[in-house]
Chain A
Amino acid sequence: MRAFRAALCLAALAASASAGEIPLPERRSGYDLMSGETRAMQDDDTANPGMLWVLEGETLWNRKTGDAARACAECHGDARTSMKGVAARHPAFDPAKGRPVTLEQRVNACRVERQKAPALAYESRELLALTAYVARQSRGLPIDVAIDERTRPFVEAGRATFYRRQGQLNLACNQCHDDNWGRRLAGNVVPQGHPTGYPLYRLEWQSLGSLERRLRGCLTGIRAEPYDFGAADLVNLELFLMWRARGMTFEAPAVRP
């Protein structure tokens, strides 16, 4: 019954797709639009700057922390097995909160509730390292966020944000990323905007950063007030973007210009 309802929901979502949506077989990762040099940087684990955070994440994974003096490894064991596929499924529905949560929010929930440690600040070195380490374990897997009657309202809310004009420049995400991908905006090629590689090392930032940082950057770029880190609007949009990228290969930690 649940499977049938899920299928209905998927069909409804697909049917309500707007005309400008990129057909599934024509979806391309930002990787395909980069120069050979930047691609080479991503492909080589010994040269990918994102791996510096993955290495640090591995150390943090095994470190006892908080009042409970517990390491992630104590409950989750070897991340290479236990975390496989996890990042490719997030944002995921959290029954306790009654809404989808991001990987960052899941890590912090564990820290606060299980390790009795304070939550890590968004874009802090430690949170980036832990999420990079977890995300690395999903590399090569297809993006697969669950869309069912629980998550459907949030995906719809995210979709509405994607197609809504915002900011002083009055632009909607789809106007660049559905309708004008592959064309140039000043010196940069406009990607389709699939979150296939987050957290990723962005050359413009000279650092690893999260999807939320990138989305907030885009919002600032169109002169809109960026949603707060962890805000429902942002998480819903991320869920929609991951659904839009369903089936695409997860590449974290990616490198992007």
Chain B
Amino acid sequence: MANALINVPPRAKRGEIIEIKTMISHPMETGYRRTQTGAAVPRDIIRTFVATYNGAEIFRAELHPAIAANPFIAFSTVATESGTLTFQWTGDRGFSETASAPITVE
């Protein structure tokens, strides 16, 4: 299931610090689990999360198997100008998911 839930305030004042919340469905399979027959379940995690604001990178996270399934990441950024915030998740097995949200800055 590859969908993302993001929360960006639609409007903000210039210079205001806004909070951004993101969540994406992903099992974050650690690679340490085994089936009942003893076979290892291979690792399958999101490794990188990047947020950009009108193309400029504002936040990055490097994830390890210790991040819980369906990773939730909340962070902040300064509202500088109107435009688009884009979020990208990449990981094992070629996983790649993008989401974006507009923001109007007065």
Contact = CB atoms under 8 A, between A and B. Distances in A.
Q: Do A and B have CB atoms closer than 8 angstroms in the complex? A: yes
B21 interface: yes
Interface stretch (B1-9, B48-56, B86-94): B1-9
Interface residues of B, number: 15
Interface stretch (B38-46, B66-74, B77-85): B66-74
A56 interface: yes
Question: Taking each of B5, B27, B68, B69, which has the highest tally of chain A beta carbons within 10 Å of its own beta carbon?
Answer: B5
B27 A206 contact: yes
Interface stretch (A18-26, A43-51, A89-97): A43-51
Given A47-B23, A206-B27, A52 B3 contact: yes
Interface string B1-21: 101010100000000000001
B98 interface: no
Interface in A177-234: 206-207
Nearest to B21: A46
Q: Size range of the interface on A?
A: 10 to 19
Given A47-B74, A49-B72, A206-B70, A55 B3 contact: yes
A125 interface: yes
Interface in A47-75: 47, 49, 51-53, 55-56, 59
B25 A46 contact: no
Contacts of B21: 46-47
Contacts of A46: 5, 7, 21, 23
B70 A56 contact: no
B63 to A, nearest CB: 15
A52 B27 contact: no
B27 A55 contact: no
Nearest to A207: B69
Interface string A108-148: 00000000000000000100010000000000000000000
B7 A52 contact: no
Nearest to A125: B1
B69 A52 contact: no
B68 A52 contact: no
Question: Taking each of B21, B27, B28, B70, which has the highest tally of chain A beta carbons within 10 Å of its own beta carbon?
Answer: B70
Contacts of B28: 206
B69 A55 contact: no
Contacts of B68: 206
Interface of B: 1, 3, 5, 7, 21, 23-25, 27-28, 68-70, 72, 74
